[in-house]
A and B are shown apart, each in its own frame.
Chain A
């Protein structure tokens, strides 16, 4: 992406409205900035518009009105292929290609970008190590991996081309609680080193409080509030309070590493 644009926000939603083909309003006037190097969590229940918002960043969905700026340029002004190849994308259950080996899955973007073969191989090995997967797993197919291993491979694939922005759509949603906690810890450690701009969609308050730099709470296509992680549990917003109550009284111990 264009390095000349280093000062503005990485991503900015400006009055974004999105109507489904049946006319239903999925997003109603979203305004939101994502700063460089932060992990912005989009928190909300199913149907709140968080996944749609995420898909607007890599042009898998287009605003009906308003625009989404990525690196200072509206997504509609980008060549969609160039835009998407500049943004890492991780989805629930990884979205790995079932007929590709782990190696080919992770090396997908470098391969379509026509990196030389040895460089791809090198990069895949680096990434396997980075996400804590044994190098011996690279010739396996996704169905031969555990859920946690698949998700690690999915993260590795999104990091393969070393892109500044990574979108994550409930990446740990399908994992058992122990594996999820482990991957969340590793995500934090990785993010501390890599300092990517991450937009992370989840409906899990614990996850949001653990991983987010800031938390954007969404409800029925509207942004309710955006708060830094530390301030979120203390907010007086009624919906935030509902969330805090719904997720139990042990939230004080759940704020994650400071």
Chain B
């Protein structure tokens, strides 16, 4: 059963999402995302697609299945999905309750996804289920910080941002490990807040 509270939150955010998160963040993160997504190969699952801002930096000619909990977000993404030069299928689906078979994908990509998934460890375990053994997961995420005063600031900011969107104080690297993945690399892009994570499902 879909988490309707989360779905409604992101449905509400959809019309203004590109305005708030689009130009500045995407311009700042574009080179890092382009480098990360250039690793796409084989059957790829992308969770969660949102309004499809990331599609602009997907490499062409890939076989990508994308999910998002919000139908309104995918409505905004529709034109970008249609314009992608490759096979990109998008479905409304809760990461906690995916209907894909076990070991369905060679790779999983996320982009600012686990700041928002209500139960991150369960969500990551769900991703692990559909990833083939030995398959890679590449994540572009923002998390809390271990350094003061940033740590306190991220906690305080979360009280406000959680109402309209993401948490700012997630412990995603720890969660990835707790979900049973092998963490191979963490690359801090801005402080220890914005980072890429490369993890693998053990054989």
Q: Is the pairing of A and B real?
A: no
B interface with A by C-beta (< 8 Å) = none
